[in-house]
Structure 1
Amino acid sequence: MADAFGFSSFSNGAEAEEDPAAAFLAQQQSEIAGIESEADGLGATEDAFGEAPAAAVNGDMFEDSNGVADSYAAIAQVDQLRQEPESLRKWREEQKTRLEQLDSASKAAEVEWKEKAKKELEDWHLHQQEQMEKNKSNNRASEDAFVKECDDDSPGSEWEKVARLCDFNPKTSRQTKDVSRMRSVLISLKQTPLVR
């Protein structure tokens, strides 16, 4: 039994069920065949623009060589048949050459930047290596001087060693810890040594 839309309902009755999709396809094929016969009767005449007339009444259905209706393929074929104006063709060619020139210029600039970056990186590594060598030599010299001072056991030079290790100028060390009390204790010990 068919409902208001033409679809058969599922029932347990004895009537044979018909596939709605198959019925729709058969109906469409018969309409297309009718349109083709009308188009064959009219002949393949071209209109004023050099285009063949459309096969369907509403312009939605075109048929290609395989017999498949495809409106997009037909539209693309009509577009290819039309000639674009000379000014547009020249503009497209100029645009293409301009884009190729821009591409080649950007690739050349990229190569130049890479070479420049490579050179700067090599210079930086060289500078870093020189700086490391200078630091190593300075550290070795200061270590040798420190070891030499530590090995010096001359009497009466103890306070000079302590004085070199302590910074007694309060203006130079603003960001360090407050060691003014320690400084005052060391100065008082230097002036009046402890008696044992």
Structure 2
Amino acid sequence: TGLGGGDSGDLFGSSPAPADAPVIVNGTADLESFEMLGGDEVAPVPESTTPARSVTPVAREEPEKIRLWREEQVKRMEEKDKLEEQAKEELREKAKGELEEWYKQHEEQVAKTRQANRSAEKELVKKEKFDFFVAITAPKHRVLSQGGQAKFVCG
């Protein structure tokens, strides 16, 4: 007979042992007088005989729609980056042109200001020369002021 009590060759015994049959522990069937031998020692827990499951994640294949969306998203982002770079380059060119125009206007304004200053200086020098000429050629009169000091007045 087999372990389970049957002759079917079943090693694990498909029929459970009767409930009133005594369980044999350490060679004795007396469970009421169970006491721990060896003091506080605890028996080691037997390791499982079943192999541990591998925890490595299984690479699942991405659904076709998601893969296509990702590819399209990459293309959209590349196109967006390309357009952004073109816009930046256009802004750089525009800024460069505006800066050149500003420098041109600035130089023109500086040239006009210089010319106006030269003209004003010529007029001032001309007037000073005239005033100096008048001052030395005009007759002078001596006038006494109230303080008793003499002043010369052209007249």
TM-score, structure 2 as length reference: 0.52
Secondary structure of 2:134's aligned partner: coil
Match of 2:134 among 144, 151, 154: 154
Structure 2: runs of 5+ lacking an equivalent:
1-45, 136-142, 145-155
Residue of structure 1 in register with 2:22 after alignment? none
Counterpart of 1:117 in structure 2 is 95
**% identical equivalent positions:** 37
Residues 1:100 and 2:78 are matched in the alignment: yes
Q: Which amino acid aligns with 1:111?
A: E
Amino acid at match of 2:80: L
Q: Does 1:134 align with 2:146?
A: no
> 1:83, 1:100 → 2: CA distance?
25
AA matched with 1:154? V
Distance (whole Å) between structure 1 residues aligned to residue 84 and residue 77 of structure 2: 10
Number of the residue aligned with 1:176: none
Deviation for aligned residue 1:93: 1.1
**Of 50, 53, 57, which aligns to 1:38?**
50
Q: Give the secondary-structure state (helix, strand or coil) at the position aligned to 1:38.
A: coil
Normalized per residue, the structure richer in strand is 2
Residue number among 53, 69, 85 corresponding to 1:91 in the alignment: 69
CA distance in 1, matches of 2:119, 2:134: 22
- Cα distance in 2, alignment partners of residues 126 and 140 from structure 1: 21
**Whole-Å Cα distance in 1 between the matches of residues 115 and 86 of structure 2?**
44
Higher normalized helix content (fraction of residues)? 1
Q: Secondary structure at the match of 1:154?
A: helix
Partner of 2:14: none
Partners in 1 of 2:92 and 2:121 — Cα distance?
Answer: 43
Shift of 1:83: 1.5
The CA RMSD over aligned residues, in Å, is 2.6
Cα distance between partner residues in 1 of 2:51 and 2:86:
59
Counterpart residue number, 1:6: none
Whose Rg is larger?
2
Equivalent position amino acid for 2:103 in 1: H
Structure 1 runs of 4+ aligned residues shifted over 6 Å read none
Write out per-residue CA displacement over residues 66-87 of structure 1, whole angstroms, 9 at most, x where no aligned residue. xxxxxxxx23xx2xx2112111
Alpha-carbon distance in 2 for matches of 1:141, 1:38: 108
Query: Which residue number in structure 1 is paired with residue 37 of structure 2?
Result: none
